[in-house]
Structure 1
């Protein structure tokens, strides 16, 4: 039986800006799970609204009214993924925290399902401004979530207080995403270790000092 809902938002509402509850939340969860399944299986360019609705057990009218387009589905999925992401580590040292961050990135990108999903949404962002904005929002949220690991390290005296936390975190994940999306090389734990070693060396040398 189809999941049913009475949506309060209008057809013009931006996908994902209304945080629903009750049946509406169940519909959203089902549709986003079906979207994730479709992206993992075949990528963004074959994402079909009717097929997502059928897989989710939701009426097509509901899906078109709430999400509007495949881009709307991906945009809302990214928002939901940001909301569900694991909190930042707190190991007691900057090195430990950055290694935990790199391990999380590595685990996500090498997971058969989630790696395929991220490859699909990154590809979508390359050709659609709305997807690009959603992807930027996702990563900005994750960087902001992890920024306190650098701030705490500065408070402990491990590095200069003026260090740009977001740049440190970007330095950890950037080499991994390069291998994942650009050179399409296998990702290993050794790659994650090197990325952290390089980020730590650059951070301690003042490469990410803000000048404040």
Structure 2
């Protein structure tokens, strides 16, 4: 009997299709009901194709989430640190308020959060975001917009802290106004000399 599943090619196309299906399954079903079989069916591949690349559902989720988050990180270079920080904060706020972003947050901070693989993925994703955004701070220091000893990681953690507080704790709206406020807070702390290297 002929399958009505779309046939996906090899290599990068398979990986992209499986990643997209993984995020879609997280959005539709959540972590608890997530299955490799459903991902394979949605991606149009056999489940053995998935298991050849990923040993289990956790490694699949980790890989899909890390790639999704890496693609979602801008490298703004507007010429002013205030505009660059605002762009980073707005991107962060937007990425976690989409359906995929909400599913990723749920997987990383709720039911699956106790799993070592997911905890490691969480660390990897957030360290990767910090690393990719550091040039914004180093350029601002070089332009003289920030104090010479400003620690990029500390500034970026400060920027993200207000957004994560509302996403994960208070449930208050996470929007551009909040992102802009987070950027102003981080900038003020840096100008006050509070975000230097330890």
The TM-score, its normalising length taken from structure 2, stands at 0.88
Q: Which of the residues 165, 178, 193 maps onto 1:178?
A: 165
Equivalent residue of 1:23, what SS? coil
Does residue 1:159 correspond to 2:146, yes or no?
yes
Mapped to 2, the partners of 1:27 and 1:175 lie a distance apart of 37
* 2:32 corresponding residue in structure 1: 45
Per-residue deviation, 1:125: 5.5
Report the Cα offset of residue 150 of structure 1: 1.0
Contact 2:65 / 2:104 at 8 angstroms: preserved in 1?
no
CA distance in 1, matches of 2:72, 2:111: 21
1:79 aligns with 2:66: yes
Aligned residues: 194
Of stretches 180-189 and 149-158 in structure 1, the one that deviates more from structure 2 is 180-189
Q: What is residue 125 of structure 2 aligned with on the other side?
A: 138
Matched, 1:110 2:90: no
Return 5+ residue gaps in structure 2 as ranges.
Answer: none
Measured on the aligned residues, the alpha-carbon RMSD in Å equals 2.0
Q: Structure 1's 32 and 124: CA in aligned 2 closer, same or farther, altered over 3 A?
A: farther
Mark the CA change 1:79 to 1:106 in structure 2 (over 3 Å): closer, same or farther. Answer: closer
Kindly state the Cα deviation for residue 78 of structure 1 after the two structures are TM-superposed.
Answer: 2.5
2:84 maps to which of 83, 91, 97: 97
